[in-house]
Amino acid sequence: MAHPSQLGFQDAASPVMEELIHFHDHTLMIVFLISTLVLYIITAMVTTKLTNKYILDSQEIEIVWTILPAIILIMIALPSLRILYLMDEINDPHLTIKAMGHQWYWSYEYTDYEDLGFDSYMIQTQDLTPGQFRLLETDHRMVVPMESPIRVLVSAEDVLHSWAVPALGVKMDAVPGRLNQTAFIISRPGVYYGQCSEICGANHSFMPIVVEAVPLEHFEAWSSSMLEEA
């Protein structure tokens, strides 16, 4: 999860997020090189007193500074489109979960089970135990098996919400009357935090998302215990 003074992304916990971080680094390097070149040209133009007649009117230079930006844009666009299609790809999910946004909590329904669903409320500050994070912990976590394709159907009951978990590279709007879907594969066990990312009213800041990834055997034991409680 994020920590104070952090400048970069959270550690990637899914293949898609790893691809997004690589694309970010790739694009940032291009931006850095362009900025350096522009700064050098500006400095040279301001400081030098020499004038070159070939620079004042040069067909070759005009061709270069027209073609070069087009090549750079292609270098950015192709990886971007590849990741865009990867993020939209949903192949034979092992588990489907419906996440419903409410003012101001999330409810989860495991649609592959007959009666497995719960509401997830933020734990109040005075009720936190040592080691828990303020404004991020919930009374019920969304537990999923690791290394399995998970599909999440996202919708809302009242106003616009957004289901977002940065470490997984997932952000999907929850729109009343509309069912959006996203998917992810979690690479390793752990607890991953997110928050509603669409301003949804007075308590927008107080409806966190907690995804817990566990081995398949632990997930089966958890689902069995939840079904027994229901």
pLDDT digits (tens, 9 = 90+) for 175-198: 999 999 999 999 999 999 999 999
pLDDT over 90 at 46, yes or no: no
Average pLDDT over residues 31-35: 95
Res 3: pLDDT: 82
What is the per-residue pLDDT for 169? Answer: 93
Q: Are residues 104 and 131 in the same domain?
A: yes
Q: What is the pTM of this model?
A: 0.86
Number of domains in the chain: 2
Q: Of the candidates 23, 55, 88, which is a domain's last residue?
A: 88
Q: In this predicted model, what pLDDT tens digit does every residue of 111-128 receive, in sequence order?
A: 999 889 999 999 999 999
- Top pLDDT among 157 and 229 is at 157
Query: What CATH number did the domain enclosing 136 receive?
Result: 2.60.40.420
Residues 84 and 106 in one domain: no
Are residues 188 and 114 located together in one domain of the fold?
yes
Give the tens place of pLDDT for each residue, 129-169.
998 999 999 999 999 999 999 999 999 999 999 999 999 99
Domain end position, chosen among 29, 55, 88: 88
pLDDT in tens, 50-84: 766 666 677 888 888 899 999 999 999 999 999 99
- Of 59, 88, 117, which closes a domain? 88
Same domain, 192 and 116: yes
Q: Which domain holds residue 57?
A: 15-88
pLDDT at 55: 65
Length of the chain counted residue by residue: 230
83 and 113 share a domain?
no
Q: Are residues 62 and 112 in the same domain?
A: no
Same domain assignment for residues 119 and 49: no
User: Does residue 105 fall inside a structural domain?
Assistant: yes
Same domain? For 99 and 45 the reply is no
Task: Report DSSP letters for the chain, one per residue.
Answer: ---TT--SPPPP-SHHHHHHHHHHHHHHHHHHHHHHHHHHHHHHHHH-----HHHHS-HHHHHHHHHHHHHHHHHHHHHHHHHHHHHH---S-SEEEEEEEETTEEEEEETTSSS-EEEE-BPPGGGPPTTPPTTT-BSS-EEEETTS-EEEEEEESSS-EEEEEGGGTEEEEE-BT--EEEEE---S-EEEEEEE-S--STTGGG-EEEEEEE-HHHHHHHHHHHHHH-
pLDDT score, position 1:
74
Q: Give residue for tokens 């999923």.
A: 144
C-alpha span between 44 and 73 (Å, rounded) = 26
- 15-47 and 59-88 helices cross at what angle (nearest 10)? 160
Same domain, 24 and 107: no
Burial 73-91 (b: 16+ CB within 10 A, else e): eeeeeeeeeeeeeebeeee
With respect to residue 219, please indicate whether it lies within any of the assigned structural domains.
Answer: yes
Measured CA to CA, the distance from residue 153 to residue 155 in angstroms comes to 7
* CA angle at 96 for the pair 93 and 99, rounded to the nearest 5°: 140
With a pLDDT cut of 90, the percent of the chain lying above it is 80
Q: Is 4 part of any domain?
A: no
Query: Residue 160: what pLDDT?
Result: 95
Check whether residue 70 and residue 161 sit in a common domain: no
CATH number for the domain spanning 71: value is 1.10.287.90
Do residue 80 and residue 99 come from a single domain? no
Residues in a beta bridge with 96: 151
Mean pLDDT within 19-31: 96
pLDDT at 54: 65
Same domain? 116 vs 216 = yes
Would you state the pLDDT for residue 56? Answer: 66
The reply to whether 168 falls in a domain is yes
**Cβ–Cβ under 8 Å, residues 132 and 193:** no
Query: What residues are paired with 211 via a beta bridge?
Result: 142, 192
